[in-house]
């Protein structure tokens, strides 16, 4: 089921990561992973596992690189010479990989973004970078949907923003209830996307049937 969130005066863009100096060292992180391997019942010193703590730390640097990125900065690189273009701009099917903050399990899916320009447009690659900046953090899908939408609305100041995310959650498919094939769909509509049914309908028509593409 999708949800449409009301606009809020909340600084969704302003979530700041922990300062680098306050984080554990790489050596401490690797020791923690050795402890988890031991706790799981294996030997971190055997040949196949010897480099695993270092590999996992390197993987974490990639998976959670969003903490070192500023989504607002991407959105500030705009263009105003658009010959008065004020129709909907839509970027659909932005693939992402994230991790659930409850179980650290992968969330894999795609984001559809639409906005109605006021006086500025942004390069399409910047929209994808905003998605990645939020996805590469510990996440909840509902929160990520709102973060992307409010970041675009706050910085670009369009007449409206629509964001739809469809994703599968490995915390549901590989543990717990073990229900593969389930797609979660969330949405945030702001400005004209919320207030004008025709604008919302046009956006949803352009992106197609949310959830269907992940079921194939």
Is 171 an active-site residue?
A: yes
Q: Which one is catalytic: 69, 170, 171, 202?
A: 171
- pLDDT tens by residue, 17-45: 666 678 899 999 999 999 999 999 999 99
Q: Which one is catalytic: 72, 100, 142, 202?
A: 100
pLDDT at 23: 86
Inter-residue contact 188 to 146 (CB < 8 Å) = yes
Decide whether 20-63 matches 65-215 in CATH topology.
no
Is 141 an active-site residue?
A: yes
Q: Which one is catalytic: 99, 112, 150, 169?
A: 169
Helix, coil or strand: residue 115: strand
Q: What is the CATH number of domain 65-215?
A: 3.30.1130.10
The CATH architecture that domain 20-63 belongs to is Orthogonal Bundle (1.10)
pLDDT at 11: 47
Q: Which one is catalytic: 27, 73, 102, 195?
A: 102
pLDDT at 15: 53
Inter-residue contact 108 to 125 (CB < 8 Å) = no
Sorted by sequence, the CB contacts under 8 Å of residue 144 that are 6+ apart come out as 98, 134, 135, 165
- pLDDT tens by residue, 99-135: 999 999 999 999 999 999 988 889 899 999 999 999 9
Q: Which one is catalytic: 141, 147, 153, 192?
A: 141
Q: What is the rounded distance in angstroms from the CA atom of residue 57 to the CA atom of residue 90? A: 36
Is 102 an active-site residue?
A: yes
Residue 22: count other Cβ atoms within 10 Å of its Cβ. Answer: 7
Q: What is the rounded distance in angstroms from the CA atom of residue 207 to the CA atom of residue 112? A: 7
- pLDDT tens by residue, 158-212: 999 999 999 999 998 888 888 888 999 999 999 999 999 999 999 999 999 765 5
Is 101 an active-site residue?
A: yes
Is 13 an active-site residue?
A: no
Inter-residue contact 156 to 75 (CB < 8 Å) = yes
The residue ranges of every structural domain in the chain are 20-63, 65-215
């Amino acid at each position: 089921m999708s949800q449409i969130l009301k606009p809020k005066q909340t600084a969704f863009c302003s979530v700041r990561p922990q300062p680098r100096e306050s984080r554990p060292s790489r050596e401490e992180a690797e020791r923690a992973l050795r402890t988890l391997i031991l706790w799981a019942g294996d030997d971190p010193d055997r040949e196949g596992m010897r480099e695993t703590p270092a590999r996992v730390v390197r993987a974490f640097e990639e998976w959670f690189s969003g903490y070192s990125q500023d989504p607002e900065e991407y959105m500030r690189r705009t263009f105003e010479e658009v010959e008065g273009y004020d129709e909907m701009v839509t970027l659909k099917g932005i693939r992402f990989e994230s991790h659930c903050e409850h179980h650290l399990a992968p969330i894999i899916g795609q984001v559809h973004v639409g906005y109605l320009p006021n006086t500025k447009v942004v390069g399409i690659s910047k929209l994808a970078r905003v998605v990645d900046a939020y996805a590469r953090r510990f996440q909840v899908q509902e929160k990520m949907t709102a973060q992307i939408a409010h970041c675009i609305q706050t910085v670009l100041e369009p007449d409206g923003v629509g964001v739809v995310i469809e994703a599968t959650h490995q915390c549901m498919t590989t543990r717990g209830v073990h229900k593969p094939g389930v797609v979660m769909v969330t949405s945030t509509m702001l400005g004209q996307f919320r207030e004008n049914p025709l604008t919302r309908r046009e956006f949803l028509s352009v992106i197609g049937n949310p959830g269907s593409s992940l079921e194939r």
